[in-house]
Amino acid sequence: MKVPLLDLKAQYGPLREEVRQAVDAVMDAQYFILGPEVAALEKEVAEYVGARHAIGCASGTDALLLALMALGIGPGDEVITTPFTFFATAGSISRCGAIPVFVDIEEDTFNISPEAIAAAITDKTKAIMPVQLFGQSADMDAIADVAGDIPIIEDAAQALSSEYKGKRVGSIGTLGCFSFFPSKNLGGFGDGGMITTHCDGLDASLRSLRVHGAEERYFHRTVGFNSRLDALQATVLRVKLPHLDAWSDGRAANAAKYNELLAGANVVTPVAKDYARHVYNQYTLRVQDRDGLMAHLKSKDIGCAVYYPLCLHMQECFAYLGGKEGDLPVSEKAAKEVLSIPVYPELTDEMIEYVAASIREFVG
């Protein structure tokens, strides 16, 4: 049996005709950049998340960068974040000229530690950027308590439809940032992103920044850059959005099956906190011989991947910050032990049982 890590064809099949009709309508209109399709998606995402505003942009990375720029963050400023995440989280901070300040994570959720944030705040701290990793929210109340008046940017790229104490991620902090990369739980047919906020002033700033800082064509008060969402991406995402909750429920149901089948095995299955709706953009195990298990699963034609093998404070490009092995031991330990396995909603029971049995065969 072959079980890929993700099967986007299985998701696309039932939606093929609806997607093609929507794309054809955009082709007929010949309105490809921003426009009514993007505006409609922004309205729908804002309503879904529970935010006053949603602003489409070209990618999840740009969403983070635009959020930082809208807050006026720049050279000399510090932004506290996690080292155990995709590069864009810290890369966006660095691109603003600001300094990423890495703090350790919680061992059970892989999310940033509120206690570690509190210890790292200085008078240069201008934002805190927690990541809602693998589809589960960080402890946002605890983070807000230590943040005080410091803005919070939610990196929710993996967590659209996740909730914290009944609130959707992206509606909790000052700004929420989402990615529509194809592998995300709401994925487009290419890159795309979205920023959500309750703040009218930030909304206006973001809409200007994404079009080179223009508030009207050819008149620029600030320097932005080109980060517009394509209408073709928006129309595909509008077809998919009504299915998102069902897909998230399917991932959670598959995660529950894995938890049952792997009970008692020599692996640590994901922890879902009572305060969160975990939507399992990844189902991530911890195992002592991670590389051995990965090789074993690949020999069985089972897709798997490591998110993330090297913490950001140890990346070559951030050597100037002086980070070294041993600085953030919980994050570094996770990087050596994590392995993500297939959890997409179209998995069959037979496939899940095969994956679980193959894991148990290796770990005992």
Look up the CATH number of the domain holding residue 234: 3.40.640.10
pLDDT tens sequence across 299-344: 999 999 999 999 999 999 999 999 999 999 999 999 999 999 999 9
Q: 216 with 91, same domain?
A: yes
Q: 304 with 236, same domain?
A: no
pLDDT of residue 221: 87
pLDDT-derived band at 364 (thresholds 50, 70, 90) equals: confident
pLDDT of residue 215: 84
Q: 219 with 250, same domain?
A: no
Evaluate whether residue 2 is within a structural domain: no
pLDDT of residue 216: 83
Torsion sign over Cα 116, 122, 124, 126: positive
Q: 323 with 285, same domain?
A: yes
Res 170 pLDDT > 90 = yes
Q: Give percent of the chain with pLDDT exceeding 70.
A: 100
Left if phi > 0, otherwise alpha if psi is -120 to 50, otherwise beta: which for 193?
beta
Q: 262 with 223, same domain?
A: no
Helix, strand, or coil (residue 359): helix
Tokens at residue 98, please? 């600001």
Evaluate whether residue 336 is within a structural domain: yes
Domain boundary at 209, 242, 275, which? 242
Question: What gap in Å lies between CA 168 and CA 299, rounded to an integer?
Answer: 39
Res 114 pLDDT > 90 = yes
Question: What gap in Å lies between CA 226 and CA 213, rounded to an integer?
Answer: 9
Rounded to the nearest integer, the mean pLDDT of the chain is 97
What's the whole-number mean pLDDT along residues 231-256? 98
Evaluate whether residue 3 is within a structural domain: no
Evaluate whether residue 162 is within a structural domain: yes
pLDDT of residue 20: 97
Q: 58 with 172, same domain?
A: yes
Res 293 pLDDT > 90 = yes
Q: What are phi and psi of 46, to 5 degrees?
A: -60, -45
For residue 191, the 8-state DSSP code is -
What's the whole-number mean pLDDT along residues 119-147? 98
Q: 221 with 120, same domain?
A: yes
Evaluate whether residue 87 is within a structural domain: yes
Question: What gap in Å lies between CA 221 and CA 211, rounded to an integer?
Answer: 11
Question: What gap in Å lies between CA 323 and CA 325, rounded to an integer?
Answer: 7
- Which residues lie across from 87 on neighbouring strands? none
pLDDT of residue 54: 98
Q: Structural domain of residue 314, as residue ranges? A: 243-363
pLDDT tens sequence across 11-29: 999 999 999 999 999 999 9
The CATH number of residue 258's host domain is 3.90.1150.10
Domain count, the chain: 2
- Does 48 sit behind a cis peptide bond, omega within 30 degrees of 0 on the bond before it? no
Model pTM greater than 0.75?
yes
Q: 124 with 168, same domain?
A: yes
Res 292 pLDDT > 90 = yes
For residue 278, CA distances in Å to 30, 153, 242, 335 come to 39, 19, 18, 21
Question: What gap in Å lies between CA 363 and CA 91, rounded to an integer?
Answer: 36
Res 134 pLDDT > 90 = yes
Domain boundary at 242, 258, 286, which? 242
pLDDT of residue 355: 98
Q: 275 with 233, same domain?
A: no
pLDDT of residue 306: 98
Q: 234 with 247, same domain?
A: no
Evaluate whether residue 68 is within a structural domain: yes
Res 260 pLDDT > 90 = yes
Q: 298 with 216, same domain?
A: no
Q: 65 with 151, same domain?
A: yes
Evaluate whether residue 1 is within a structural domain: no
What's the whole-number mean pLDDT along residues 241-266? 98
**Are the C-beta atoms of 12 and 23 separated by less than 8 Å?**
no
pLDDT tens sequence across 205-242: 999 999 999 988 888 989 999 999 999 999 999 999 99
Evaluate whether residue 354 is within a structural domain: yes
pLDDT of residue 309: 97
pLDDT-derived band at 67 (thresholds 50, 70, 90) equals: very high
Domain boundary at 211, 242, 273, which? 242
pLDDT of residue 218: 87
By CB neighbour count within 10 A (0-12 exposed, 13-18 middle, 19+ buried), where does 87 fall? middle
Res 191 pLDDT > 90 = yes
